[in-house]
Amino acid sequence: MAFGYNGKILVVDLTAGTHEIREHDERWYRTYFGGSGFIGEMLLKEDLVDVDPLGPENTMIFACSVVTGAPISGFNRYTVGAKSPLTGGFARTEAAGFFGPEMKFAGFDAVIIKGAAEKPVYLWINDGNVEIRDAADLWGLDNWDTLVKLQELTGEKRVRVSSIGPAGEKMIPYACLQNDLEHYNGRTGMGAVMGSKNLKAIAIRGTGKLEFADPEKVKEIASWHRKRIKEHPPNVGLHKYGTPILTEGVNAGGFLPTRNFKEGQFEHADKLFAEPYHDTIFHSRGTCWSCSVACKRKLELDDPKYPLDKRFGGSEFEAVAALGSMCAVDSLPAIGYGTQLCNLLGLDVVSTGSVISFAMECYENGIITDEDTGGRPLKFGDADAMIWLIRQIAAKEGIGEVLSLGVKKAAEKIGKGAEKYSFHIKGQELAFHDGRGKTGMGLGFALCPTGADHIETPHDVAFVGEGISKLYPMGLLDPVDPVKTDAAKVRFFYIGQKAWGINNLLGLCNFCSVPIHALTFTKLVEAVQAITGWETSLYEILNGVERANVMARVFNNRCGFTPDDDTLIRRWFEKMPSGPLKGMRFEPDEFRGWIELYYEMSGWDKEGRPTRGKLIELGLDWLEEAQVGAAQ
């Protein structure tokens, strides 16, 4: 008997209007675990290398893990993957909330979407029953109206919905997915893939219960975890202030991206800190399935210019930086309103903020002119311009049509030197942590298979001094210097990336789990054992993490990515102009050496291809042929 998972994967063919169920044995689940592992295996087995990311041949995967839905704080995330329309390579993006556990309760560990419908549809999954339904009345609706309409159509107030907004329908390559307007699969453009399939939403209701190998032990760990969350300082802060608590520290450290990465501090950042946030726009806390951290923020403000509605989600740290410091906007109501617009329209707020700040710098340098904007100035600090551009991008109107392409392709289209201000890695815009202040995280941005992603990598500043003790179980014993890059820092990243990767593999929230937050490595292993009944270990789980990373790398190699794509943005190779990090930069020649050292430590050749020995070590010998193809 399987414990913790259903052993069933739903495959829906929208072109044919059919569905089937695939079943895998314990060995398969124990090899790939879930999340990033499921995505890597399925994308490679589907052979999506040469497909158009927005064509019907692209396959989209919603993946839980063997522990998703256990009643332990943070065991609620799920992963969506496909070939990315933003990067042309491997896509994987996580979200929390209730959707993942609901999928498990409905009887499935993953849902694979193939083909494309002729007209708009939504998928209705109800306790194992599957229907492809007409979505003509949903197409064009924002994400809130879609949720309300699906509650009506399904007759289920507790239905869980992953949907796209108008941005996804228009296949904007950084469109995202949402569930409950608080939880987002934000990165890599999965909303555009869903839109290309004419799939407006997946609605799920499940009343089933998961069986655990040792239910009493699961309850014991859950109780221990809840108690520790109430006492563990990082979790106490997140409960009180949510991720906006990060803004003050990141700015003080000098690595808060400002004005399109020109600076590392924002002179008006104090207006964006957690306390004014909670004094002006905060309404209440939200949470996810079975989670006692409750870090989500709900916003409300009765303001004629920037009205905020508690139903439409709140601004996380990344949104505060994206629409705040990156655009030099110091109005929390405007930032909150811009965030809620992105939520309703289905735009990834990270990419949106990067695109807007890029446009503002281009305008500042005469590359984008009043003629391009219809006379609308695009100056840093102009909150109304920021809001206007969000609407223009989502509608693909005027200058918004070009900006909707993302900074890489927009710069190519604009020309006139716009590429100088276009900051991305592998085609994806960066999240908002300047790598000159966290050099290990900088390595992670360069090496992440999806393009720059702050969830891929350890953040150096958490492991200075006694903080390194959090990584003792991984064999890292020496404190980290956040701004130093040497062989020891590469080792820190190489090992720390695996620690972070556990959460992407098992679908665990970083704010509840290892290595920084309340769950310890020991308790994590005990939880997996109690849920699945497997006599597992940290070693086996880390093997799963490395397996997922290697599969993502092989996919990208086959898509044509090379070591030249494992790099950083121009500004991080230049000296920081001011602040605590003044003069700091990555040395280009040294940086290339650190990338090659990482390859060597990983068992990859100088072209960044996992060796035959590494594939066999990880039980991925079925990828040998794929590697041969990549080398040719």
pLDDT bin (cut points 50, 70, 90) of residue 626 is low
- Nearby residues of 70 by Cβ (< 8 Å), 6 or more positions away: 4, 210, 212, 218, 222, 290, 527, 531
If you average pLDDT over residues 309-330, what whole number do you get?
98
Q: For residue range 66-117, list pLDDT tens digits in order.
A: 999 999 999 999 999 999 999 999 999 999 999 999 999 999 999 999 999 9
Q: For residue range 552-590, list pLDDT tens digits in order.
A: 999 999 999 999 999 999 999 999 999 999 999 999 999
Same domain (yes/no): 479, 414: no
pLDDT of residue 569: 98
Helix and strand element counts for the chain (H, E):
24, 16
CA 208 – CA 500 distance, rounded (Å): 31
CA 518 – CA 89 distance, rounded (Å): 34
For 206, the token pair is: 């499940």
Residue 215 lies in a domain: no
The three-class DSSP label of residue 74 is coil
Same domain (yes/no): 384, 495: no
Residue 217 lies in a domain: no
306-333 in b/e burial notation, b at 16+ Cβ within 10 A? bebbbbbbbbbbbbbbbbbbbbbbbbbb
Same domain (yes/no): 448, 414: no
pLDDT bin (cut points 50, 70, 90) of residue 632 is very low
CA atoms within 13 A on the CB side of 303: 16
Residue 339: pLDDT over 90: yes
CB 386 within 8 A of CB 333: no
Residue 224 lies in a domain: no
Which candidate, 509, 603, 485, places its Cα nearest to that of 553?
A: 603
Tell me, what DSSP letter sits at residue 243?
Answer: G
CA 471 – CA 480 distance, rounded (Å): 11
Same domain (yes/no): 338, 445: no
Tell me, what DSSP letter sits at residue 470?
Answer: G
pLDDT of residue 244: 98
- Nearby residues of 173 by Cβ (< 8 Å), 6 or more positions away: 84, 85, 86, 189, 192, 404, 405, 406, 409
Q: For residue range 187-206, list pLDDT tens digits in order.
A: 999 999 999 999 999 999 99
Same domain (yes/no): 267, 362: yes
The percentage of residues in the chain with a pLDDT greater than 90, rounded to a whole number, is 97
Give the residues across from 92 on adjacent strands.
81
Q: For residue range 27-73, list pLDDT tens digits in order.
A: 999 999 999 999 999 999 998 999 999 999 999 999 999 999 999 99
CA 374 – CA 415 distance, rounded (Å): 19
**What is the separation of C-alpha 190 from the centre of its chain, rounded to a whole number of angstroms?**
11
Distances (CA, A) of 170 to 7, 80, 132, 139, 264: 35, 19, 21, 11, 34
CA atoms within 13 A on the CB side of 123: 31
CA 209 – CA 104 distance, rounded (Å): 8
For 361, the token pair is: 């710098």
Residue 233 lies in a domain: no
The last residue of a domain, from among 205, 235, 267: 205
- Nearby residues of 616 by Cβ (< 8 Å), 6 or more positions away: none
CB 374 within 8 A of CB 398: yes
If you average pLDDT over residues 378-403, what whole number do you get?
98
The last residue of a domain, from among 399, 429, 459: 429
Residue 30 lies in a domain: yes
* CATH (domain of 372): 1.10.569.10
Domain that holds residue 455: 439-517+537-631
Domain count, the chain: 3
The last residue of a domain, from among 205, 233, 264: 205
Same domain (yes/no): 318, 444: no
Same domain (yes/no): 328, 445: no
* CATH (domain of 89): 3.60.9.10
CB 203 within 8 A of CB 123: yes
Instruction: Provide the greatest CA pair distance for the chain.
Output: 67
Residue 230 lies in a domain: no
* DSSP track, 370-390: HHHHTT----TT-HHHHHHHH
Q: For residue range 137-146, list pLDDT tens digits in order.
A: 999 999 999 9
Residue 527 lies in a domain: no
Same domain (yes/no): 409, 447: no
Same domain (yes/no): 161, 287: no
If you average pLDDT over residues 485-502, what whole number do you get?
96
Same domain (yes/no): 70, 176: yes
Residue 216 lies in a domain: no
Same domain (yes/no): 190, 47: yes
Quote the pTM value. 0.98
Calculate helix-pair angle for 383-395, 349-364, nearest 10 degrees.
120
Same domain (yes/no): 418, 461: no
* CATH (domain of 445): 1.10.599.10
